[in-house]
Amino acid sequence: MFVTTVLTASTETVVEGAEHAAEHGAAAGGVFPPFDPSSFASQLLWLAITFGIFYYVVSKVIIPRLSGILGTRRDRISRDLDEAQRMKEESDAALAAYEQELAEARRSAGQIAQEARDKAKAEADARRGEAEGRLNEKLAVSEKEIAAIKAKALSEVDGIATDTATEIVRQLVGGTATRADVAKAVAAAAKQ
């Protein structure tokens, strides 16, 4: 009832203000209606009504919706942060497992390489040993042949020395010396 009375009063005030403005407008050159003192009461009434409705709509509709949106957003952000943390932990665990497997693979590769080096070295040592054995056998055979040739050459040295000395005596002295005498002289010289 109060609202109806207020609305009726404000309507009458607006009508009176319009009449008043029409009367004064022609005489005063027209006043902007919000600044007309005769319409202040109705303007204040409509301001209060509009503010009340606006306050009610904001407090009952807009703020709860905004609160719901912000709450949903906060929950979503919290879930996303939790999911990101879980994924980070999983990636850290996967990286640690990868690094461990890589270290094991490197260690295994190092062992395989060391075994291959040891095997190759053993094979090379065996081949070298075989080659040295063959060379030593050839060397022994060669040394025997050289010793035989040397012995033969040394045994012939006395004969060559005797022949050479005989020829030297014949040419220098002009006489002939017996081979037996020259051989005794060469043998005596070889002993000194």
Q: Does 85 fall in a domain?
A: no
Q: Does 16 fall in a domain?
A: no
Q: Does 161 fall in a domain?
A: yes
Single-letter amino acid, residue 137: E
Q: Does 164 fall in a domain?
A: yes
Sign of CA dihedral 25, 29, 35, 38: negative
Query: Contact at 8 Å (CB) between 10 and 42?
Result: yes
Domain membership of residue 158 as a residue range: 151-191
Q: Does 92 fall in a domain?
A: no
Query: Contact at 8 Å (CB) between 17 and 33?
Result: yes
Q: Does 26 fall in a domain?
A: no
Q: Flag residues of the chain having pLDDT under 70.
A: 1-29, 175, 190
Neighbours of 43 (CB within 10 A): 17
pTM above 0.85, yes or no: no
Q: Does 110 fall in a domain?
A: no
Neighbours of 22 (CB within 10 A): 11
Q: State the pLDDT at residue 19.
A: 65
The interaxial angle of helices 40-57 and 2-28, nearest 10 deg, is 130
Q: How far is CA 134 from CA 128, 141, 143, 147, 148, in A?
A: 10, 11, 14, 20, 21
Q: Does 167 fall in a domain?
A: yes
Report the number of distinct structural domains present in the chain: 1
